[in-house]
Amino acid sequence: MTTRIDARFAELAKEGRAAFVTFLMAGDPDPITSLDIIKALPKAGADIIEIGMPFTDPMADGPAIQAAGLRALKAGMTLTKTLEMVRGFRKDDNATPLVLMGYYNPIYIYGVDRFLVDAKTAGVDGLIIVDLPPEEDAELCLPALTSSRSACRSQIRWRTGRRSRRRACAR
């Protein structure tokens, strides 16, 4: 089964160009405007859209993303509403890959198995979980790959140990 991400990268390879990947925090400045912006991104040339999942303690984010997350939370954004936003996008666009980016804690509280089912049903194509190192792939990444065919990537940072980098890159 070819995923939307695989299909998009195959198209890009045929065109001989790199992907234009955009990022938007779900719910910033408010849920309705955020969905309108996400729906407009493919028409503006976005190949893949990363959607941030707002979180109260964004330790790995810079000031701009922290501020966007706080605005989204103040506007009432939740993980459930983020998945609803994905569903709303999928009503009009079934081709553009959507990748959720954020932290593990909201997913853990939501329930990993429930999240994976709901994310797949909503139309999520991949996950970037910034605070889940490769050594903890069994928590979310392996179940995601097994149960829903979602792409799942751990962040590999400069302070990630050599052994961990080798393990992550081998996958």
Residues noted as catalytic: 50, 61
Residue 17 CB: number of other CB atoms within 10 A?
10
Q: Identify which of 133, 137, 89, 130 has the alpha carbon closest to the alpha carbon of residue 106.
A: 130
In three-state secondary structure terms, 87 is: helix
d(CA 14, CA 49): 20
What is the biggest distance separating any 2 CA atoms in the chain, rounded to whole angstroms? Answer: 44
Q: Residue 39 corresponds to which tokens in the numbers above?
A: 């729906």
- Round to whole Å and give the CA distance between 12 and 14: 5
